[in-house]
Amino acid sequence: MKKEYLHMYLTDEQYLDLMKKIRKDIDGVTEIFAEDSTMIGNKYTITNIGLCAEAFDEKGSVFSKSKYVTRETAMWPKDFDKIGKVKYDYPQMFAMKYRQSNQLCPLDKRNKGGFNGCFYTCRAFKDKTLTMQEVKCLYDEAIQKEENKQKRK
């Protein structure tokens, strides 16, 4: 990856922190929500248990200010500071930085990443028998693996 683009991606530490925050929050989740929008001009997929859950706010609303995005993890930190202070708030203003290709979501069935989307390999969308206990185990394993990786650095 080119050095001039590094500011657009989460660091390994930010990635680990994001997984830990979502893992803590899914303790209270009882039902898996996975939406595949088919709206023309507004195509998205999102689930409340994957790393794409960073788009949810405290009330569970999609595409509003996320509780997971901080100034340090925001794609545009200067715009992030303006949220609520400008006339129009756009979702892009508080978007999180991209994950690096090796920073997979615990729900992704792939062993190594790529820059294509994860919809076709996401357990939330493709495994209708997935339980919350399995989701928690997947997060615990991914967090442990990332912590071990960072200790070796």
Secondary structure (3-state) at 96: strand
Cβ contacts of 125 within 8 Å, gap of 6 or more: 34, 36, 45, 47, 119
Domain count along the chain: 1
Q: Which residues of 32-50 are buried (b: 16+ CB within 10 A; e: fewer)?
A: bebeeeeeeeeeebbbbbb
Domain of 136?
Answer: 3-151
Q: pLDDT tens across 100-140, in order?
A: 888 999 999 888 766 566 778 899 988 888 999 999 999 99
pLDDT value, residue 73: 86
Predicted TM-score of the model (pTM): 0.81
